[in-house]
Amino acid sequence: MNKETVNLLCKQFGISMDTIKLVETAEAEIQPVFRRYDDIAEYNQLKVLKAFHDCRISDTVFAWNNGYGHDDPGRDACSRVYAGALGAEDCIVRPTICDGTHALACTFLGILRPGDELLYCSGQPYDTMQTVIGLRGDGNGSLKSYGVSFAQVDLTPENNIDLEAVKAAIGPKTRMAALQRSLGYSWRHAFSIEEIAAWVSACKSVKPDIICMVDNCYGEFLDYKEPTEVGVDVMAGSLMKNPGGGIAEGGGYIAGRADLVEMVSYRVTAPGIGGDCGLMYDQTRHILKGIFMGPRTINGAIKGAALCSKVFQLLGFETTPRAEAPRNDIVTAIKLNNKEQLIEFCRAIQSAAAINAHFTPEEGEMPGYPDAVIMASGSFAQGSTLELSADGPIREPYIVYFQGGLSYWHSKLGVMAAVQALCSRGLIG
């Protein structure tokens, strides 16, 4: 870091020389890890570009109409580019899919029928999925209320997918096996493409026609392949995360086998209409530019996450994944010692945001979440966690989930701000 940058950090951002030195040390030590991320980002940039070329995208797709949108050109363009970039047969991507939760709910509700069983193979599902399944809340509208049952296979004590237990749990009613790739609000690693491929093989070895579904939130463009390229039948994700590239205003996608995407499209719109109606509301250009910029944005975020792990490891905290370990999402979880550290960490991240930096996050209830949560996300797209953000449920052990940054340098500033806040408040030595 040059003298001018150091001066600016000290004088304008209140970062001490000790903090700067710590982060610089960490950064120097993890350079070898960064090289792999650069290679993957370059590959994915070309892969996405190839999808644009294959789909012959022209600027006319940015135009949009109104009403039913029977021939909204952008809708089809977005679907095809997404399908190409994700190596899937088909895809539905819409600004009207609210978020990842909505995309996942449409996937389950669109494909599963009364009497079917959904088998989660990665332990307890992500918090907002629990109300969709009917594990929490009044169950109204949930899978359970439609007669779709649920079973779950826990991870092994080492937090790996328990393939033998998965095989044993698949029965005559098990129509879909699901895997959550990212850690969610839990303490484990995110699953790699190799682990996902082995899981698919295990499931299909006992039931060849089982539908393998992946909650792919935070997982896109982090490896040379996507789950849909290693046998996963259908997956869903959020445009507030990786594939939105920090440019899409919002939305969600479902990608996979064409017959399954069609079933889901009947849930997203209506049976018989599916993907043939619905406006893009002038979001086509943002969605396409988002996926085009995605590999680069994600590259910055994943480096920031690795740096965060390294810095907090140097400070003596437990992190997952560790800085040197392979990463299959853009999240770093840090086990903090108490609630005060969790709150100060999130407040520091908020103070480093571009938007609403002068706001102070407070703990509070959030729709779909069982515990009070604290969330720092001073983002251009409200709540976007591809942008610099940190959050965590107010429950023991006090784990903070750090992620995002539209550039590596922003993410790095976030790490410095968090360290600085904890030091200044006397919360760490």
Ligand X SMILES: *Cc1c(COP(=O)(O)O)cnc(C)c1O
Binding site for ligand X (CB under 6 A): 99-101, 126, 128, 180, 182, 184, 215, 217-218, 238, 240
Separation between Cα atoms, residue 132 and residue 285, nearest integer Å: 31
3-class SS letters over 130-177: HHHHCCCCCCCCCCHHHCCEEEECCCCCCCCCCHHHHHHHCCCCEEEE
> Cβ closer to ligand X: 179 or 353?
179
* Interstrand relation of 331-335 and 234-238 (parallel, antiparallel or unpaired): unpaired
Residues with Cβ within 8 Å of 274's Cβ and at least 6 positions away in sequence, in order, are 262, 265, 266, 268
DSSP 222: S
> Cβ closer to ligand X: 187 or 409?
187
Q: Taking the complex as a whole, how short is the minimal distance between the CB of residue 240 and ligand X, in angstroms?
A: 5
Q: Taking the complex as a whole, how short is the minimal distance between the CB of residue 301 and ligand X, in angstroms?
A: 13
Distances (CA, A) of 175 to 118, 164, 336: 6, 18, 40
Separation between Cα atoms, residue 86 and residue 89, nearest integer Å: 9
Name the amino acid, one letter, at 379.
Answer: S
For 248-282, give one letter per residue: b (16+ CB within 10 A) or e.
bbbbbbbbbbeebbebbbbbbbeeeebbebbbbbe
Tokens of 173: 């009613």
Distances (CA, A) of 265 to 78, 238, 269: 14, 16, 6
> Cβ closer to ligand X: 166 or 333?
333
Q: Taking the complex as a whole, how short is the minimal distance between the CB of residue 367 and ligand X, in angstroms?
A: 10
Q: Taking the complex as a whole, how short is the minimal distance between the CB of residue 199 and ligand X, in angstroms?
A: 16
Q: Taking the complex as a whole, how short is the minimal distance between the CB of residue 333 and ligand X, in angstroms?
A: 12
> Cβ closer to ligand X: 62 or 126?
126
> Cβ closer to ligand X: 131 or 180?
180
> Cβ closer to ligand X: 103 or 230?
103
> Cβ closer to ligand X: 126 or 312?
126
DSSP 192: P
Tokens of 188: 């484990």
Helix axes 408-424, 3-13, angle to 10 degrees: 50
Residue nearest ligand X by beta-carbon distance? 100
* Interstrand relation of 389-393 and 211-215 (parallel, antiparallel or unpaired): unpaired
Q: Taking the complex as a whole, how short is the minimal distance between the CB of residue 170 and ligand X, in angstroms?
A: 22
Q: Taking the complex as a whole, how short is the minimal distance between the CB of residue 104 and ligand X, in angstroms?
A: 6
- Cis bond leading into 397, ω under 30°? yes
Q: Taking the complex as a whole, how short is the minimal distance between the CB of residue 105 and ligand X, in angstroms?
A: 9
> Cβ closer to ligand X: 74 or 125?
125
Residue with structure tokens 């449409």?
106
394 by Cβ neighbours in 10 Å (0-12 / 13-18 / 19+) ranks as middle
Measure the N-to-C terminal CA separation of the chain; round to a whole number of Å: 24
Q: Taking the complex as a whole, how short is the minimal distance between the CB of residue 98 and ligand X, in angstroms?
A: 7
> Cβ closer to ligand X: 62 or 150?
150
> Cβ closer to ligand X: 182 or 379?
182
> Cβ closer to ligand X: 148 or 240?
240
Q: Taking the complex as a whole, how short is the minimal distance between the CB of residue 126 and ligand X, in angstroms?
A: 4
Chain-centre distance for alpha carbon 149: 26
